[in-house]
Amino acid sequence: MSKDFTTREENYSKWYNDLVIKADLAENSAVRGCMVIKPYGYSIWEKMQAALDKMFKDTGHENAYFPLFIPKSFFSKEASHVEGFAKECAVVTHYRLKTAPDGKIVVDEDAKLEEELIVRPTSETIIWDTYRNWIQSYRDLPLLINQWANVVRWEMRTRLFLRTAEFLWQEGHTAHATKQEAIEEAEKMLNVYADFAENFLALPVLKGVKTENERFAGAIETYCIEALMQDGKALQAGTSHFLGQNFAKAFDVKFTGKDGKQEYVWATSWGVSTRLMGALIMAHSDDNGLVLPPKLAPNQVVIVPIYKTDEELAKLNEKASEIKKSLEALNIRVKYDNRDTYKPGWKFAEYEFKGVPVRIAIGPRDLENGTVEVARRDTKEKKSYQQVDLAHKIEHLLGQIQSNLYQKALSFREQNTTNVDTWDEFVNQIEGKGGFVYAHWDGTKETEELIKDKTKATIRCIPLDNKKEDGKCILTGKPSTQRVVFARAY
RNA sequence: CGGGGUGUAGCGCAGCCUGGUAGCGUACUUGCAUGGGGUGCAAGGGGUCGUGGGUUCAAAUCCCGCCACCCCGACCA
């Protein structure tokens, strides 16, 4: 199944693609740019959803659902928003098919829609059109709503999980009485994303704001979390937008304040997508396959029996079930694989490839000695453990693996973060090792675009915890007050 | 949309140049042996050769059109 697997060094991009397919996470579908998420991949996504959904609810949000289709006219209401999405919209123009004289199924031209429907690329417009009726008074605020949905953006080039024409995500859309409160909400949700990335994905992220160029279409401020992948490229892992009153004005959403005066509502929106799957895969996996952090692994532990005879298997079944139960009592997700159709070595390789954090092998020798063999996926280390109190030891080990993955990713990021002060250094760094490059920039759109044209590097963000520092723009030499983070990105 | 490439068994590929009844590896099925890191041997099943047309006694192979997918650019979470 996974022999002859491409290594990261040979071809990082092929490694990623092969990994996604061979680890059974997803595959390309019959539809251009759209993937099928397979059960194993989907179960990881479900784990992410569950964790995020809880975090959203713990911060006061509720789930709702809005239509897949958005009337075309809605898009024209917020000028910069439509501009940002116009080039990648799927449009529904007809509502009926018919059989042509030659027997082929064709679109019935008589069934043309009065107004075309856009398949949502994001839901601000339909949601704000709805909010108009929901919000009258300051008592209706804040309105804190999240939606789990699929969206469509007709991308020209797609890659499994990282960029697909249709993807799954959540989008939060909140309405507030004051500017300050909306900004706090946008920042709060950015922190939720950062916590999630660090605690569940085991992935350290930079928190920052986007430059005007990179800002979400229709936003006043776009906050983001940026992660560094093993090939030195950055991945935007989540965004949170302060939308000001742009959408309230476009959709005429006003509320009456305590003072009896009418004012436009302040808005935020924030989202993360199945792209997080891509981040997860690229952050930790190695040339032996997937490496999953225990908190998101569908199976945290797999138990493999080693035996020759049916009698041995019967004894091992008994012992393994006992171990399985003791682990499950601690809420550890365990699979016992006693299929006779595959050999132990095959199973070892298989679970390793699928990233199961801990493998327990147990054979006749272990039964005699009261031991098991425990192998951890992150370090590939194998150790013999006494069966006594095994469940607690495994629980502890899972915690260690989770934090080890985070530490490893963190030190990778540190090793691949550099300060540069001259253009030559900058080009060398971007074209060599890559990584996050802190450099001075004169603050103009033109310079940012010029740098992008010359090096393919973009400003990933202006970090929130940035310290002020006088310097000169690496390209123009004009004065600058702080360093910003450059990288090539996905 | 520009440049390059590929369509042959579930998957990966050879065969094409030089036309002559479709092959390899793997996966699958069956049997026997094997079993502490992808097991060996044997037998077996499976293909409108992307698609439409043309040339020819004969086309996977030669010619023309079309379609799909992949890679590199412009666009992007």
ipTM of the complex: 0.84
User: Is A384 part of any domain?
Assistant: yes
User: Is A233 part of any domain?
Assistant: yes
The pLDDT value recorded for residue A15 is: 85
The pLDDT value recorded for residue A7 is: 81
- Judge whether residue A150 contacts strand B, using its CB and a 7 Å cut-off: no
* Closest C1' nucleotide to A87's CA: B75
Residue A34, CA distances (Å) to A81, A164, A219 in order? 24, 6, 28
Work out how many domains chain A is built from and give that number: 3
User: Is A97 part of any domain?
Assistant: no
* Closest C1' nucleotide to A13's CA: B71
**Mean pLDDT, rounded, of chain A:** 93
pLDDT in tens, A139-160: 999 999 999 999 998 887 788 8
The pLDDT value recorded for residue A1 is: 43
* Closest C1' nucleotide to A346's CA: B38
Residues of the domain holding A184: 12-67+122-284
Helix/strand/coil (H/E/C) assignment for every residue in A12-78:
HHHHHHHHHHHCCCEEECCCCCCEEECHHHHHHHHHHHHHHHHHHHHCCCEECCCCCEEEHHHHCCC
Name the residue among A363, A376, A303, A369 with its Cα closest to residue A333: A303
Q: Give residues 329-348 of chain A lying near strand B (Cβ < 7 A).
A: 340, 343-346, 348
Pair A152, A57 in one domain: yes
Secondary structure class of A102 (helix, strand, coil) = coil
- Judge whether residue A275 contacts strand B, using its CB and a 7 Å cut-off: yes
Span A420-424, average pLDDT: 94
- Lowest pLDDT segment from A20-29, A175-184, A442-451, A458-467: A20-29
Residue A86, CA distances (Å) to A12, A217, A248, A273, A424 in order? 32, 11, 21, 20, 38
CATH number of residue A42's parent domain: 3.30.930.10
Span A200-204, average pLDDT: 97
Q: Would you say A238 and A248 are in contact if contact means Cβ atoms under 8 Å apart?
A: no
d(CA A275, CA A229): 13
Q: Is A10's pLDDT higher than 80?
A: no
Pair A331, A397 in one domain: yes
Q: Would you say A381 and A359 are in contact if contact means Cβ atoms under 8 Å apart?
A: no
User: Is A105 part of any domain?
Assistant: no
* B5 C1' to A345 CA distance, Å: 38
Other C-beta atoms closer than 10 Å to the C-beta of A137 total 11
- Judge whether residue A170 contacts strand B, using its CB and a 7 Å cut-off: no
Span A68-79, average pLDDT: 90
d(CA A450, CA A426): 14
- Judge whether residue A155 contacts strand B, using its CB and a 7 Å cut-off: yes
Residue where the block lists tokens 């159709």: A341
Secondary structure class of A457 (helix, strand, coil) = coil
Give A279-304 as a DSSP string. HHHHHH-BTTB----TTT-S-SEEEE
**Rounded (10°) angle between helices A445-455 and A423-431:** 50
Q: Is the dihedral of CA A66, A67, A71, A76 positive or negative?
A: positive
* Closest C1' nucleotide to A307's CA: B35
Q: Is A311's pLDDT higher than 80?
A: yes
d(CA A418, CA A435): 8
Other C-beta atoms closer than 10 Å to the C-beta of A482 total 16
The pLDDT value recorded for residue A453 is: 85
Token pair listed for A296: 């998101």
Comparison of pLDDT for A430 and A14, the residue scoring more = A430
The last residue of a domain, from among A392, A412, A432: A412
The pLDDT value recorded for residue A375 is: 97
Q: Is A417's pLDDT higher than 50?
A: yes
The pLDDT value recorded for residue A281 is: 92
The pLDDT value recorded for residue A8 is: 84
- Judge whether residue A163 contacts strand B, using its CB and a 7 Å cut-off: yes
Residue A93, CA distances (Å) to A289, A362, A427, A461 in order? 44, 61, 47, 39
| Percent of chain A whose predicted confidence (pLDDT) is above 90 | 75
* B74 C1' to A156 CA distance, Å: 10
User: Is A84 part of any domain?
Assistant: no
Strand pairing class (A254-256; A262-264) = antiparallel
Q: Give residues 24-63 of chain A lying near strand B (Cβ < 7 A).
A: 28, 32
Q: Is A286's pLDDT higher than 60?
A: yes
* Entry field: residues in chain A: 490
Q: Is the dihedral of CA A90, A169, A235, A268 positive or negative?
A: positive
User: Is A212 part of any domain?
Assistant: yes
Name the residue among A417, A169, A339, A168 with its Cα closest to residue A269: A169
A463 CB contacts (<8 Å, ≥6 apart)?
A: A206, A207, A208, A484, A485
pLDDT in tens, A98-138: 877 766 677 888 999 999 999 999 999 999 999 999 999 99
- Judge whether residue A147 contacts strand B, using its CB and a 7 Å cut-off: no
Number of helices (H), then strands (E), in chain A = 14, 27
Pair A247, A309 in one domain: no
The last residue of a domain, from among A255, A284, A313: A284
Q: Give residues 306-325 of chain A lying near strand B (Cβ < 7 A).
A: 306-308
User: Is A94 part of any domain?
Assistant: no
CATH number of residue A310's parent domain: 3.40.50.800
The model's confidence at residue A478, banded by pLDDT at 50, 70 and 90, is: very high
Token pair listed for A155: 């991308």
Span A376-401, average pLDDT: 97
Other C-beta atoms closer than 10 Å to the C-beta of A3 total 7
Residue A62, CA distances (Å) to A53, A144, A170, A265, A346 in order? 9, 6, 12, 19, 45
Pair A128, A277 in one domain: yes
Q: Give residues 394-453 of chain A lying near strand B (Cβ < 7 A).
A: none
pLDDT in tens, A33-66: 888 898 999 999 999 999 999 999 999 999 999 9
Report which residue type is found at A443. G
Pair A306, A274 in one domain: no
Q: Is A95's pLDDT higher than 80?
A: yes
The model's confidence at residue A471, banded by pLDDT at 50, 70 and 90, is: very high
Secondary structure class of A247 (helix, strand, coil) = helix
Pair A309, A351 in one domain: yes
Chain B positions with any atom < 7 A from a protein CB: 1, 27, 34-39, 68-77
- Judge whether residue A164 contacts strand B, using its CB and a 7 Å cut-off: yes
* B38 C1' to A349 CA distance, Å: 6
